[in-house]
Structure 1
């Protein structure tokens, strides 16, 4: 369905300040919600005014903005009509806010240059060494993504920084490796210095290369690519400095290293394997003279695996060839061993679940009685679980009540049932779905765990004598977030005769790690699939459900559940966002700032998370940032492992590190890990926000974000709001076009092919 751009019409009082949420009494402003320009208008939910600002975008940090001199700009919610202050006062306030943002950014930059340790050493570098250290630090902190050879070219003239790159790893907390010996780090540092690379990279290089790292690096300088954030051209410069005239583009060591690096970049983009032709094309772009030979040599060295997957289930005549004796078509894929083994293990484990008889943990009459006490899709889910080892369940936020009902009824039957979510906030949502009725029986939270805690043994039922999880039924919510390695670990951990339910919303963004497990299983139709018929309620539910099918409709929002705030540029977007969070939403909607989350497409740019967090901190919790850039009370997001984001708040800091409170739990982040794993959290990306919800959400869409939008992104971002959604809108027709036309980027995986010979296809 085509839509018109969201516009705000100002009636006969343009000189009076307007409130984005309609709380002000001056000015009869009206706004059209996304979709139908000709539909009924809601009074005063948005404002088109504001201090116009010219946007300049940088790739590594928030760009500075300057206030323009446009007259008659409305201040959108910072004053009521009775305040008696004119446009000049409002403009001064906006300029003062922007000036404060500039001061904050300058202070942060000064602080970075004054830090002790590796960062201080890096600040004294220049040229190639400084660039190399900056690239590594940017990737470690999530501020800058690893350059992917498989991403689309950036549209002209500008593009905000994409989502943060996450190194693809299991969701289970990684084992803390012993720090490399000081002698080894010193030896590696000497080699790095000799090659013109910053010595500050020595600990990462020593840890990545292991014993004899200095000798290995000297013998093969391109091993520098093992450090996240290092690019081939930087490794080439390092190799030239060490090898001199012996450094050649056709060096076999370079071909091996670049091939493995490209496969790692493919995994970062979500692929578990890569077509050989695409890999060879990428090698040619990286100046590898003979890409085909590079691929063969890398496979021979055991640094990559090659697969030949049939493109159809069976040839027309049966067997491996057709009637003319020609082999059926295949696709040749390349992949890293860790993802190949994980995908094969996952396929074997899923086949075991589907083909085995579930454990007898209740009579058919008992299960039917439990289903009879439930309603609608919940009853269907219980009946499916009674007779099958693997069941898929799909639905939106409201459908969480159905796996919650399954958990409650299964435990009443004496089944050792557990539910796993990806975040503590997911547990809170499930507890809310269970409702207070469970208080009379067994504690519901006794059967809840996070996926990471379950796999590590820190949470959940523990393991039995055979090493399997000591349970009969495992329900995993937000299943689209499962990457292939995490899914393989979960399935391997289930006991014989156990049951697995994967529940989630197929419309949200895919996992941070490689694979598309939930989507592949839905497409394979290898087990019962229960689609929830429980709709998400209210105007927000109607809007998000429509986006899921490619439409952006006009929705009736009498309670201002959906508000559109048009802006002209990124600078105005930052200004409006601060007003919404700090003033308009709390005053007009009744939701405090602490319960309002800002979501924006990327970290970089003039309206990315860094710029928005700086502005919001200055307004909501100003301070000197004396704890590594943080102050007590700062909202943060903690990444304990790649691909995981846990919101929280800073409590204090001491010699142990930065003390946080995350979902009611105390967390201490060591000082040396703060820069890599903690960032301010008033503003997040949609990838960081997936799987969580807040009472109010402000989605920021500056004009230069148009090229990054897609239906899954919009669906995910808009769906994080439980009661109120404000859209700071500057992308015009790009929003309805993204919803209607731009679906999720394809990922290359082998799971569907691996499942074909092992399990029957069902239509349920």
Structure 2
């Protein structure tokens, strides 16, 4: 499953458009046209030898498989913390009272003959011993345990921390966190004194920052067998394929069978099902009672259209556009269908005032004037409407809450920086919310801010869209590899700091360098997690594709002008940087590329485009540039079509890792794109397949995808769409633009795709004039959102 949904029909009047990078089954995977008069083209074998293309999926990174020892230790530490928090407070206090003594005794008894355990594993073992000992002590006496009277050192500190948890003074997760400094090595004396000494083994070196490696979330529990059987029986009665049973049970939950029988159009809640298919299912179940005027159908189609709009990036639809789309779907009374949907609570309605271009900020007016102001009526699904409301409220809270950091601290941060980084730091010192814009090179400025803030003692963290972006940011010298994570990891709790008693992140400064890729729900969760007084820096390149999920958070904030905006003056280097910078302002320029950094490979048709792409990835780029196959990414506009990701991945698999594809088309060694949630794709490799499912290695962590979810969640990953590739960069990139790609191209798409290669870019060009026309004339597709309107009152007050 990719980050962009697919469609099987063209968008009609009033119907929400799908994301530009999506590919429909049977729809061209949209390639690009020739570079027009802009780029120098090189044909023949010579061009093929200096072009490149490759692999990986969204955020594919070189850091896959690194830090396995640290990941294992982090997992054990997390397990220890959960076990400790789950115990009763009294039992935890007693376990803490003697944890160190048991640990030392165990070490002394074992001697050097046993292999050393990690600190977390030893702590778990000690806790198990102490629980048994505590139970024996409880059985021997009726009174409460005497706690802490004779303790000292680490044991006394641990007991005091547990008591603080009991009193509500601090969260339990902080009690069992790794120590800030390694404990000094001490050799216990033999005899009873050894029970009070530190363990024989040295304490491990602490992590420089409590950022843990991102791991995919655990698989959610599937539907019960009873529910699944009931759904399959109803599907069989309605003539629907049994393969939909699992998806329908997951989408509709317990009681899905009864729900489908009572309202067959609820089948539209299953991903991939279209209204005409749900109509056929309903006719088979309801017979003569089925008709287009059925209000159940009107509600279901209304919700389906709003879901399709969300897949296209909208958080709401204007009422006239929704009514037109309903009429196109055969709903006889669109207004009645919308009202029924609102009455059932399946959608919400909003009236947002319209601001005329160039008009001054709204001022208080009497009732008559207020009634005459133009408004637009918007219909939205509750989840996206509430996410935008929550995001706007959270931003206002941050802006209006007093800072917890002194002026001297921020003066120290500013003094440590220079140039654009110092300008950014001065803005952050005076404002809780700051926007930072610029290309990939501009990430050096928030990285410098992060390093200076941490040096000044601030709790600072930067989170990127992908693990590849995290690793590249961590490689910049100012960060020294610390204080960097991913958005998904931070929200899942697998990366970043802990949370305080109120559930807020223990941060003074959060930097998001990839803010254009934030969808409205992720952005709302991030802002809600920040404590009062924290500072937030949202940065990124506004010319990139917007988020794969609904919303255009960064663009709306830039348009609302509710906070300082700092524009970086650092240009992206080299011929590729020069080319991409021109595309950002609508110009496809010819650039000097003496080292073959940019090459055009003309092709006549989609078949030749696929052939030349495989040649580039497997032979030309490795030979000419020394870039291995895994260092090249192939990007194409869509999944379908003769040169979409499906066709390209099939050809690349045949050349690079041939095999029978015994498990859903996959073999060990296949590169994959694993998408457990819309908008998030993890690169990985197939390890094996067995009765449990498909075993993957994603970002160094093992993942098992159940058999029934492989088709929906896993694709081959040698070739990606631009939405899957955004947030990552590779040494080489091959952008495939077949002749039927013209309608899929836009300036943000070309800008994003061409910018994925660091050292080399090959453009497999068969679209002729469509490429320069897209760069010059086709901006980002508009999205209907409410965030800018929700922020407007705050802007007017400021």
Correspondence for 2:586: 550
Q: Count matched residues.
A: 601
Correspondence for 1:227: 270
Contact (CA 8 Å) 1:172, 1:451: kept in 2 or not? no
TM-score by length of 2: 0.72
> Structure 2: 5+ residue runs without aligned partners?
1-32, 51-213
Cα distance in 2 between the residues matched to 1:671 and 1:335? 34
Correspondence for 2:541: 505
Correspondence for 2:647: 611
Deviation at 1:203, TM superposition (A): 2.6
Cα distance in 1 between the residues matched to 2:518 and 2:354? 25
Deviation at 1:175, TM superposition (A): 7.7
Cα distance in 2 between the residues matched to 1:315 and 1:590? 57
Are residues 321 and 438 of structure 1, via their aligned partners in 2, closer, same or farther at CA, if it must alter by over 3 Å? closer
Cα distance in 2 between the residues matched to 1:693 and 1:591? 13
Correspondence for 1:416: 459
Correspondence for 1:46: 42
Which of the numbers 334, 338, 342 marks the counterpart of 1:299?
A: 342
Cα distance in 2 between the residues matched to 1:428 and 1:485? 24
Root-mean-square deviation (Å): 2.4
Moved more, 449-458 or 729-738: 449-458
Cα distance in 2 between the residues matched to 1:569 and 1:320? 64
Deviation at 1:314, TM superposition (A): 7.7
Deviation at 1:173, TM superposition (A): 7.1
Q: SS at 2:415's partner residue?
A: helix
Q: How does 1:395-434 map to 2 (within 5 A)?
A: 395-432=438-475, 434=476
Correspondence for 1:319: 365
Cα distance in 2 between the residues matched to 1:342 and 1:722? 36
Q: SS at 1:610's partner residue?
A: helix
Query: Is residue 2:589 matched to residue 1:563?
Result: no
Deviation at 1:669, TM superposition (A): 2.9
Deviation at 1:618, TM superposition (A): 1.5
Query: Is residue 2:713 matched to residue 1:717?
Result: no
**Which string of whole-angstrom CA distances, capped at 9 and with x for unpartnered residues, describes residues 146-197 of structure 1?**
xxxxxxxxxxxxxxxxxxxxxxxxx997785432221222122111111111
Cα distance in 2 between the residues matched to 1:507 and 1:532? 14
TM-score by length of 1: 0.75
Deviation at 1:35, TM superposition (A): 5.6
Contact (CA 8 Å) 1:320, 1:327: kept in 2 or not? no
Q: SS at 1:253's partner residue?
A: helix
Correspondence for 1:537: 573
Deviation at 1:667, TM superposition (A): 3.2
Query: Is residue 2:661 matched to residue 1:594?
Result: no
Are residues 314 and 556 of structure 1, via their aligned partners in 2, closer, same or farther at CA, if it must alter by over 3 Å? closer
Which of the numbers 386, 393, 400 marks the counterpart of 1:341?
A: 386
Contact (CA 8 Å) 1:547, 1:711: kept in 2 or not? yes
Query: Is residue 2:436 matched to residue 1:393?
Result: yes
Q: SS at 1:758's partner residue?
A: helix
Q: SS at 1:651's partner residue?
A: strand
Query: Is residue 2:793 matched to residue 1:757?
Result: yes
Are residues 614 and 178 of structure 1, via their aligned partners in 2, closer, same or farther at CA, if it must alter by over 3 Å? closer
Query: Is residue 2:496 matched to residue 1:460?
Result: yes
Query: Is residue 2:669 matched to residue 1:633?
Result: yes
Cα distance in 1 between the residues matched to 2:36 and 2:328? 42
Correspondence for 2:551: 515
Which of the numbers 242, 249, 255 marks the counterpart of 2:298?
A: 255
Cα distance in 2 between the residues matched to 1:517 and 1:381? 20
Deviation at 1:77, TM superposition (A): 4.4
Contact (CA 8 Å) 1:34, 1:554: kept in 2 or not? no
Which of the numbers 222, 235, 252 marks the counterpart of 1:209?
A: 252
Contact (CA 8 Å) 1:659, 1:666: kept in 2 or not? yes
Cα distance in 1 between the residues matched to 2:700 and 2:258? 47
Correspondence for 2:396: 351
Correspondence for 1:279: 322
Cα distance in 2 between the residues matched to 1:623 and 1:336? 44
Contact (CA 8 Å) 1:172, 1:455: kept in 2 or not? no
**Which string of whole-angstrom CA distances, capped at 9 and with x for unpartnered residues, describes residues 611-630 of structure 1?**
11111112222222234322
Are residues 77 and 757 of structure 1, via their aligned partners in 2, closer, same or farther at CA, if it must alter by over 3 Å? closer
Cα distance in 1 between the residues matched to 2:758 and 2:352? 44
Deviation at 1:581, TM superposition (A): 1.0
Correspondence for 2:222: 179
Correspondence for 1:671: 707
Correspondence for 2:684: 648
Deviation at 1:321, TM superposition (A): 4.9
Contact (CA 8 Å) 1:33, 1:562: kept in 2 or not? no
Are residues 46 and 663 of structure 1, via their aligned partners in 2, closer, same or farther at CA, if it must alter by over 3 Å? farther
Deviation at 1:587, TM superposition (A): 1.3
Deviation at 1:202, TM superposition (A): 2.1
Contact (CA 8 Å) 1:174, 1:641: kept in 2 or not? no
Cα distance in 1 between the residues matched to 2:679 and 2:363? 46
> Structure 1: 5+ residue runs without aligned partners?
1-31, 50-73, 79-170
Cα distance in 2 between the residues matched to 1:751 and 1:36? 40
Which of the numbers 354, 363, 369 marks the counterpart of 2:407?
A: 363
Moved more, 210-219 or 592-601: 210-219
Are residues 536 and 35 of structure 1, via their aligned partners in 2, closer, same or farther at CA, if it must alter by over 3 Å? farther
Contact (CA 8 Å) 1:357, 1:388: kept in 2 or not? no
Contact (CA 8 Å) 2:737, 2:767: kept in 1 or not? yes
Which of the numbers 655, 658, 678 marks the counterpart of 1:622?
A: 658
Deviation at 1:319, TM superposition (A): 1.7
Ranked by relative contact order (alpha carbons within 8 Å, sequence separation 6 or more), the top structure is 2
Question: Whose Rg is larger?
Answer: 2
Cα distance in 2 between the residues matched to 1:300 and 1:661? 47
